[in-house]
Amino acid sequence: MILFAVLAVVIAVPVVAWLLWQPRPRREVSARDANISIYRDQLRELDADLAAGKIAREDYERSRREVDARLLEDVAATESAAPARSRALPWAAGVAIPLLAVGVYFIVGSPRMIEREAEHMVTAKQVEAMVARLAARLRENPNDIDGWRLLGRSYSALQRFPEAADAYARAATMAPRDPQLLADFADALAMARGQSLQGEPEKLVLRALEIDPKNLKALALAGTAAFERKDFQRAADTWKRMLDVVPAGGEDARAIQANIDEALALKGSRVLRGEVRLSEKLRDKASPDDLVFIFARAVEGPPMPLAVVRKRVRDLPLSFALDDSMAMAPGLKLSGHPRVVISARVSKSGVANPQPGDLQGASKPVANDASGVRVVIDSVVR
């Protein structure tokens, strides 16, 4: 949850808001309409200045790319901030498509085509076709760094994160010291790898910060990576650096501060650690893509789980950490119940409630800050 909230704040600074993954009321239709209107005004001014000879063709093209990049970042930011990625494609089809058309213009379009695309509804099929044309043009002109960058943003807006990561990787080979490009690459790569910044995505983020210590998106991602590891102090310290960049007292600063406060509050919370394994006798009954729910319940207290984490069978065996940030309901936290039982269940149906045929296992009662807890999934739900 922190991941998407922070990313929304980051990209909000240049235009409106990675991404990431909840949309906030101030980011909805009126803001998007305003952005499109502003974009058109800027294009008209640029066209007028070019026609009047006030700017050179090279400056004109560079300015158009800059305006387009800001708008595409806004599209990506809104998409990444959504709580459920599955809802992003309809949004892209209804709202982001005109902006994607603007981006594709630099490779395959014309001003008149863009004017038509921006003023009429475009279907998801049409935007897929535009992005496909962009990809095809890049196969013919693989050294076009701006094209690869735009392709990465377009794929991200369409939730095609593996392809987005590939496109950003191509761009990064040509601009290895572009901090914003490295941050965008890390973002897409993290989404392609199950919304986790651990490993290569975090390395890209840290490289971006070596180049530009004040890059907002890279700071947000670095803090989020620390938060994922339960290193709440580092997360708070990293996000504090964002406050030096955004306007003091503004909504962005307040949102960042709220995330800092949450990280510091969790710093002192109880953390329960352990390992979950799947019994060898049941391995042939599970598919690598089956969901695995790991949760803590109070020995004496409400039946609702106190903390939950979701993984896949392919991740097993895995180490887990449960804390108050994973609470299912306000006030129902792990730290509030001294003795708990840790359960793990392979859900064949994909739902949280146990169903016949699911595979499960549980620990003995343990302290809410225990470590080295072992859970073996060794029985079938009847």
Q: Write the DSSP assignment of 154-173 as a string of letters.
A: HHHHTT-HHHHHHHHHHHHH
Q: What CATH number should be reported for the domain holding residue 8?
A: 1.25.40.10
Is 221 found in the same domain as 125? Answer: yes
Give 20's pLDDT tier (boundaries 50, 70, 90).
very low
Is 278 found in the same domain as 229? Answer: no
Q: What is the pLDDT of residue 248?
A: 85
Is 207 found in the same domain as 316? Answer: no
Closest CA to 256 of 216, 211, 284, 312: 216
Omega within 30 of 0 (cis) for the link into 317: yes
Is 288 found in the same domain as 198? Answer: no
- Which of 219, 251, 267 terminates a domain? The answer is 267
| 43 or 225: which leads in pLDDT | 225
For the cut 70, the answer to whether the pLDDT of residue 32 exceeds it is no
Number of domains in the chain: 2
- Residues 63-83 have pLDDT tens digits of 665 655 444 444 444 444 333
- Residues 142-198 have pLDDT tens digits of 999 988 998 999 898 888 999 999 999 999 999 999 999 999 999 999 999 888 899
Average pLDDT over residues 94-104: 41
Residues 6 or more apart in contact with residue 139 via CB below 8 angstroms: none
Is 300 found in the same domain as 209? Answer: no
Q: How distant, in Å, are the alpha carbons of 109, 148, 256 from that of 143?
A: 19, 9, 38
Is 256 found in the same domain as 158? Answer: yes
- Give residue for tokens 């199950």: 194
- Residues 225-270 have pLDDT tens digits of 999 888 889 999 999 999 999 988 888 888 899 888 888 878 877 7
Q: What is the pLDDT of residue 240?
A: 93
Is 151 found in the same domain as 33? Answer: yes
Is 130 found in the same domain as 79? Answer: yes
Is 356 found in the same domain as 244? Answer: no
Is 90 found in the same domain as 64? Answer: yes
Average pLDDT over residues 197-203: 93
If you count them, how many residues does the chain have? 382
Give 22's pLDDT tier (boundaries 50, 70, 90).
very low
What percentage of the chain reaches a pLDDT higher than 70? 68
Determine whether 331 is exposed, middle or buried from the number of CB atoms within 10 Å of its CB (0-12, 13-18, 19+): exposed
- Which of 267, 286, 318 terminates a domain? The answer is 267
Is 91 found in the same domain as 8? Answer: yes
- Residues 272-314 have pLDDT tens digits of 999 999 999 999 999 999 999 999 999 988 888 999 988 999 9
Element (H, E) at 309: strand 307-312
Interior angle at CA 91, CA 292 and CA 2, nearest 5: 50
Interior angle at CA 327, CA 361 and CA 343, nearest 5: 5
Average pLDDT over residues 94-105: 41
Q: What is the pLDDT of residue 40?
A: 55
- Which of 222, 241, 267 terminates a domain? The answer is 267
Q: What is the pLDDT of residue 326?
A: 84
* 304: containing domain: 271-380
Is 339 found in the same domain as 224? Answer: no
Average pLDDT over residues 98-106: 44
| 285 or 44: which leads in pLDDT | 285
